[in-house]
Structure 1
Amino acid sequence: MTEEEPRLSAREMIERLDSSLSPGRRVRAVAALLAGLAGAVFVAALWWTEPGPLPGRTHLAFALFTVFCLAWSGYGGWLLTRRVPLFATDRVIAAWIGLAASLTTTTVLAVVAAQRDTGLGGTLLVGGLFAGMALVLAVRARTRRAALLRRVRELTGQEDR
């Protein structure tokens, strides 16, 4: 006689999903962590070693770039420590960091270009392209996450809220 295998419910199957990152995702997480830390150290070192008093907008730019680098390193560290299925949350977060960074960088560069009266059109064009690509990635990531969560609700029999 063979013992019948226990059947798993959809919820139990979802809970048993492999919570470890795939090798590719792990490499991307480590790359984000290390690149963010290296960028933060590099920008902070440039900021600290600038001779003489700096204008306020220069301090603001250095601070923003340091914050963005720290955001990427925080994202990489967060991703490496997750032990649950993410259902594309990581993609949504990365897309929003990219969108915030591209919009803020474009704004800062546009202000500087306008104050110096040098190439505002080119700055807005390139910045707009980066911001547009980041927005497309954010929408795609959000759509993918919504589809995955909808599928989880279907499998577990939960109502669509």
Structure 2
Amino acid sequence: MTQDSNGPSPDDALARLSGSLSRTRRIGAVVALVAGLAGLVFVGLLWATEPGGLPGRTQVAFGGLMALCLVWSGYGGWALTRRVPMFALDRVVAAWIALAASVVTTAGLEAVVPRQGVASVVGAVLIGVSAVLAVRAHLRRAALLRRKRELS
């Protein structure tokens, strides 16, 4: 490890990181994986056991929910199998998944829920929270990249 008057380089600092996730990050990844798989199984079984033919938009809603559950379980599995510390880019990826899921969920609510006002409010809250998380993730990553350039 090289060290000059400014301390270790950013690459040296990254090289010292351990090869495992922190306990908090590991729990978060496990929750994403398990919740995604549980949702996938639950929605799939619900869809499969519905009697008779379902309307087209209901079938699309079931398919969309299953796709969202698959994405979250994929993200959780990816985070766990990488076995490296979570970086700012991982937060950006998770924030974009949340934002996309919120937009798709809101569109589904608008199409299915009879009382559009309630769906609009719930959707606006979901999109608002996930958008704030996405902006924060991008700002944090930009700040870290800026700091890395300053230290190089």
Q: TM-score, normalised by structure 2?
A: 0.88
- Looking at structure 1, the residues matched to 96 and 52 of structure 2 have their Cα atoms a distance apart, in angstroms, of 35
Alignment correspondent of 1:122? 118
- Looking at structure 2, the residues matched to 38 and 122 of structure 1 have their Cα atoms a distance apart, in angstroms, of 26
Would you identify which runs of 4 or more consecutive aligned residues in structure 1 move more than 3 Å? 6-9, 83-86
Alignment correspondent of 2:19? 19
Letter paired with 1:148: L
Alignment correspondent of 2:150? 154
Alignment correspondent of 1:143? 139
- Looking at structure 1, the residues matched to 51 and 30 of structure 2 have their Cα atoms a distance apart, in angstroms, of 34
> Which structure 2 residue ranges, 5 or more long, are not aligned?
none
Q: Secondary structure at the match of 2:21?
A: coil
> Which structure 1 residue ranges, 5 or more long, are not aligned?
1-5
CA contact (8 A) 1:87 1:148 kept: no
Q: CA RMSD in A?
A: 1.6
Letter paired with 1:50: E
Letter paired with 2:120: L
Please say which structure displays the higher CA radius of gyration.
Answer: 1
Letter paired with 1:58: T
CA contact (8 A) 1:87 1:149 kept: no
Alignment correspondent of 1:94? 94
Letter paired with 1:125: V
- Looking at structure 2, the residues matched to 126 and 12 of structure 1 have their Cα atoms a distance apart, in angstroms, of 46
Q: 1:54 to 1:44 in 2, by over 3 A?
A: same
CA-to-aligned-CA distance 1:3-53 (integer Å, 9 cap, x gap)? xxx644512232222232100110111111111111101101111111111
- Looking at structure 1, the residues matched to 43 and 70 of structure 2 have their Cα atoms a distance apart, in angstroms, of 11
Q: TM-score, normalised by structure 1?
A: 0.84
